[in-house]
Amino acid sequence: MTAANQDQPKRLRRVLIANRGEIAVRVARACRELGIETVAVYGDGEESALHVRYADDAFHLPTGDVPPYLNIEALIDVARRARADAVHPGYGFLAENAAFARACDEATLVFVGPSPDAMAAMGDKVEARRLARAAGVNPVPGSDGPVASVDDASAWAREHGFPVAVKASAGGGGRGFRVAHDAGELAAAFAGSSGEGERYFGNAAVYLERYLEHPRHVEVQVFADAHGTVVALGERDCSVQRRHQKLIEESPSPAVTQVIRDELCVASERLARAVDYRGAGTVEYLLDADGSFYFLEMNTRIQVEHPVTEMITGIDLIKEQLRVAMGHPLSFGPARPAAHGWAIECRINAEDAGRGFAPAPGTLTRYREPAGFGVRVDSAMAAGEVIQARYDSLIAKLIVWGRDREEATARMRRALDDFTIEGVPTTIPFHRKVFRHKRFRAGEATTTFLAEHPEVVPEPADAAVVPDGEAPEPPVSLHVEVDGRRFAVAVSGLPGQTGVGERRGNPPRGRPRQGRRGSG
């Protein structure tokens, strides 16, 4: 939360959502419940996307040297034109960019997130390790700071032993992460981590950590307000991953006892206080088999997997972000809220698991979500919508709740079987195999689960996939209405829109706005 809203509660009237897809829809729904108008932004080919149609207003972002959702100048300009008084960054893109938060401050826009200083402190992974150590939270054993060369990395590895994790100082989301199991792999790991850090984060610096062989990846959701209250809302287990990126998340963790949970929560609250944190944040740890845990990083934003915490606590974390940004105290604290039952999330991606989880963009020809008691789907998709190669491959987040883990896993198996998506390969076949695997069902999966159990990876799909880095122009997804029925169609060859802040009227959402300001 920025200086503009620290003194006393203020009313947010109109929020620009600097994101797309399901998280933009998720934020817009929370805003609507709070009586806040929303402004969407969109790039080429997204004119009829759900997050655009759902918002009260929408503005086109230009495609140029800077990708649309990373263009700080364009986003601030749109916020001014749209008469917004706040910006919600969602996750990804600029959500953890301190320069964007400062730009919002300078434009007298409330940034729905932590202060730029807190974001910058935790965004540099080397600095975050130092701050964690100072707060009494032990990081994974590693180098004291950035490692300048492969020779320096080799010297550190000879002293501490292999395997070694090479990490980009500004990395995150699995980017800029390589593992060297022996001296022969170190040079390639160093170059790969440094190069990816430079490409994705503009920072080639890397540091080293001891690579734990069979850890759990456990994270703690924290929330803080401007009134001195910091509360941890329990842990999530995110151990099932590919390329160090999460595929399945659950809360609570099957490996965490109440004693360990209390220790994790205390450590996370202490770290949040140390950086004067505000809003939603996640502190990530590696949990060893003996119950010891080590700080990895702090994500200064809402997480993709936040719904599992919502399901077991009953707290709308997006609405809580907005309340904190307005200067209100936490609606639950200062005591930690009680957790009820078990929740699990599967990321349903347009990826071919049989081809190394290669992204598989394209048009969804059929889309039918599962339903029933304890089933939730966060998505912005429908038949006819396009998964664009230039953006993330996420189609939907499938979340289930059960009274215990056995009920939750059984419900997830049923929901996966009920989920129909055609037109692109998806990770649904992979998830089905995982949820029927005896080791996962026993709650024993670690971060090495996929490497140790390749049998959960299905055969390659028949549909063609697009490798990372290639981005063909997709058709535009449009909706037309004939005799009262809506149809999704894909149209190619339409002229693109250009210019910052090009305004357009939104298609009808199927009901009158009833006094809500339209886009004109």
Q: How many whole angstroms separate alpha carbon 67 and alpha carbon 275?
A: 31
Q: Which amino acid is at 5?
A: N
Question: Of 306, 307, 344, which Cα lies nearest the Cα of 431?
Answer: 344
Amino acid at 358: A
221, 236 Cβ separation under 8 angstroms = yes
Alpha helices in 108-235 (DSSP H): 116-123, 125-134, 150-160, 183-201
The residue behind tokens 């300001």 is: 517
Residue 505's closest CA among 514, 517, 489? 517
CA angle 274, 276, 278 (to 5 degrees): 130
In angstroms, what CA-CA distances link 283 with 66, 232, 272, 318? Answer: 30, 10, 9, 18
Residue 4 neighbours by CB under 8 Å, 6+ apart = 105, 108, 109, 110
Tokens of 28: 């817009």
Peptide bond preceding 163: is omega within 30 degrees of 0, i.e. cis? yes
Q: Which residues, at least 6 apart from 201, have a Cβ–Cβ distance to it below 8 Å?
A: 168, 170, 171, 172, 175, 176
The H or E element that residue 17 is part of is strand 14-17
Catalytic residue among 301, 323, 347, 405: 301
Whose CA is closest to 347, among 93, 91, 18? 91
Q: How far apart are alpha carbons 211 and 215 in whole angstroms?
A: 9
32 is catalytic: no
For residue 460, what is the DSSP state? P
CB 394 within 8 A of CB 21: yes
Reduce the DSSP state of residue 228 to 3 states and report it.
coil
DSSP output for 282-321 = EEEEEE-TTS-EEEEEEE-S--TTHHHHHHHH---HHHHH
> Tokens representing 379?
């998505």
Place of tokens 């048009």: 363
**Joined tokens for residue 214:** 């069979």
DSSP string covering 466-516, please?
Answer: --TT--PPPPEEEEEEETTEEEEEEE-SPPPP-STTEE-PPPP-SS--TT-
Q: Which positions are annotated as active-site residues?
A: 301
